[in-house]
Homo-oligomer: A and B are copies of this chain.
Amino acid sequence: MIDANPTAAKKLLEIYDTTLRDGTQGEQVAFTVSEKLRVLEILDRLGIQFVEGGWPGANPRDSEFFQQARKITLQQARLCAFGSTAHPGSKPGQDANLCALLAAETEWVTIFGKSWTLHVESALGITREENLRLIESSVGFLHRSGRKVIFDAEHFFDGYRADPEYARQVLRAAESGGAVRLVLCDTNGGSMPDWLGGVVRQVRNQLPGIELGIHTHDDCGLGAANALEAVQAGALQVQGTFNGWGERCGNANLCTLLPLLELKLGYLTIGTQALRELTPTARQIAELAGLALNPRLPFVGQTAFAHKGGIHVSAVRKMPASYEHMPPEAVGNVRRILVSDLAGRSNIQEKARELGWRNGLSAEAAAQVTQTIKDWENQGYELEGADGTLALLIEEAIGGTALPFQPLGFEVTSTLEQSKPQSHAQVRVEVHGREYRGEGTDSGPVAALDAALRQALTVHYPQLAEVELADYKVRILEGSRGTRARVRVRVESNIGRQSWITVGVSENILEASWKALIASFACHLRPAARESRIASGKN
């Protein structure tokens, strides 16, 4: 389905990103001013044509953002300030919200107005005619002030369902005020694709002179499908957010829409070259927001091209198209082979090759690794993705060797006195028959344990000093047992750009951390495991 034609013949769509405004209405989504500026730069670099930066009239943080954004020279994106029509009681020129929009000093401004009679009468509490005048005069004021105005017709489809003629009048009011784009919003996310497509087609025919946009939400799991319908019915601007963040279930996800529009339907959006940056971009924005990306997201999720079923794995190995509808590289993602007790030995063999055992494993070794994985996963280990721990397992199955050192035990004490936490750890390990002790102090007990373990091991293995702990995660395995639940600790370690992941499981969080740390250090000390990291990269 990948269209390899040159872009010259493709129809151009406008992509309008509202991650920084509508996106932040999603639960747990928040950015500081400097994070917002960083997102703006990232979206500009990717080639997104419009970036909605925030609502200066509603939020002092957003006013600050627009002030600072002036210092950034954008290459491709147009920055939009967002707001509403004037307050029903105020004249546009004296309306605080509209004045804040002008103060943002952006060439483009987006305002929303009500197009559903229910909202006009019950929420705004004005007559239908007053609302039309409000829209025309608000848009007109911004237009006369030299702004290019995008009009978001809020609740357009609900409005159209209730009173199609009034919904059209709303659009005409905005157009006659001077709006250059009319965006049809499915604000509540409740419309069905075929019906919505039909409405866009009717509007397209009734208002031929102006460009239409589409703004959809995912309340019915149809945000992307609805946007596609609208584009196929003639909308030229597509609004959405990165990672699908937004109010309730979120907005239409641009990470889904960009590949669909560009690679499946043959439109030009940001270009196929930029699309290869899509996955890293999505993850970078998620990192700035401090949120984990939903691993199951189409195209950019961690599992989007992950194969677990035994049949799938062996087929994909021979011929990727057998279970992949497009190459992961087209959207900057990678293929992953998952290992679990479900998957069978063909996955283990494939994984072993990926981890550096280029000739694969003997049948006995593969059987032993499969059995160990089964046992460990029964205990709560999750070896999918934990390539460091898996490499140790495989090495043990091949060579029958134990760890290069023997962990003997630890004691960690945490105290809280006068609101100041303090932790002290002592550990004992055995290397080549000799016992070494280490001590560490930190505010948290895990950091103290890490420091003590390093001290004990670096006497014999000075190379462990280079190992950095890049990430530490804790997952409670059974939620129903309160503070007694088993925990799984996952540690990501690195040296420079090489990284590896190890896991530990226990009812005691410190023991789980201890196990993951030991596996991490052991992994670095074993030559084959080191090689595996080089082979698998960051995975």
- Give every chain B residue within 8 A of A53 (Cβ-Cβ): none
In contact, B307 and A247 (Cβ under 8 angstroms): yes
Q: Closest B-chain residue to A475, C-beta based?
A: B474
In contact, A414 and B222 (Cβ under 8 angstroms): no
Interface residue? A450 (CB, 8 A): yes
**Interface of chain A, main secondary structure:** mixed
- Show 29 A/B contacts (Cβ-Cβ < 8 Å), sorted by A: A1-B190, A27-B295, A27-B302, A30-B342, A59-B342, A122-B319, A187-B323, A188-B323, A192-B265, A193-B228, A194-B232, A221-B224, A221-B256, A222-B225, A248-B305, A248-B306, A249-B296, A249-B304, A294-B294, A410-B415, A413-B413, A414-B508, A414-B510, A416-B511, A442-B484, A447-B507, A469-B482, A482-B491, A483-B513
In contact, A411 and B414 (Cβ under 8 angstroms): yes
1/0 per position for A298-319, CB-CB distance to B under 8 A? 1101111111111010010011
In contact, A303 and B249 (Cβ under 8 angstroms): yes
Interface residue? A478 (CB, 8 A): yes
* Whole-angstrom CA separation of A447 from B511 in the bound complex: 14
- The answer to whether residues A219 and B304 also contact, given A26-B296, A28-B382, A249-B296 and a CB cut-off of 8 A, is yes
Knowing that A27-B338, A412-B415 are A-B contacts, what are 10 other residue pairs whose CB atoms are under 8 Å apart, sorted by A's residue number?
Answer: A24-B342, A25-B312, A28-B382, A30-B377, A188-B323, A219-B325, A249-B297, A416-B511, A447-B507, A483-B513
* Whole-angstrom CA separation of A223 from B297 in the bound complex: 12
Interface residue? A189 (CB, 8 A): yes
**Closest CB of chain B to A517's CB: distance in Å?**
8
* Whole-angstrom CA separation of A224 from B222 in the bound complex: 7
In contact, A444 and B298 (Cβ under 8 angstroms): no
The count of residues in chain A whose C-beta lies closer than 8 Å to any C-beta of chain B is 123
Q: For chain A residues 255-305, which have a beta carbon within 8 Å of chain B?
A: 256, 259-260, 264-265, 287, 290, 294-299, 301-305
* Whole-angstrom CA separation of A310 from B25 in the bound complex: 9
Q: Closest B-chain residue to A192, C-beta based?
A: B264
Interface residue? A324 (CB, 8 A): yes
* Whole-angstrom CA separation of A194 from B230 in the bound complex: 13
Chain-B contact segment, one of A103-111, A350-358, A387-395, A417-425? A417-425
1/0 per position for A184-217, CB-CB distance to B under 8 A? 0001111011100000000000000000000000
- The answer to whether residues A409 and B415 also contact, given A296-B294, A377-B30 and a CB cut-off of 8 A, is yes
- Give every chain B residue within 8 A of A123 (Cβ-Cβ): 315, 318-319, 322
Give A residues with C-beta under 8 Å from B.
1, 24-28, 30, 58-59, 118-119, 122-123, 187-190, 192-194, 218-225, 228, 232, 244, 247-250, 253, 256, 259-260, 264-265, 287, 290, 294-299, 301-310, 312, 315, 318-319, 321-326, 338, 340-342, 377, 382, 384, 409-418, 421, 423, 442-447, 449-450, 468-480, 482-485, 487, 491, 506-511, 513-514
- Give every chain B residue within 8 A of A410 (Cβ-Cβ): 414-416
**Closest CB of chain B to A336's CB: distance in Å?**
8
Q: Which residue of B220, B509, B514 contacts A445 across the interface (Cβ within 8 Å)?
A: B509
Q: Closest B-chain residue to A58, C-beta based?
A: B310
Q: Which residue of B225, B264, B480 contacts A471 across the interface (Cβ within 8 Å)?
A: B480
Q: Closest B-chain residue to A449, C-beta based?
A: B483
- Give every chain B residue within 8 A of A297 (Cβ-Cβ): 249
* Whole-angstrom CA separation of A318 from B125 in the bound complex: 12
**Closest CB of chain B to A76's CB: distance in Å?**
25
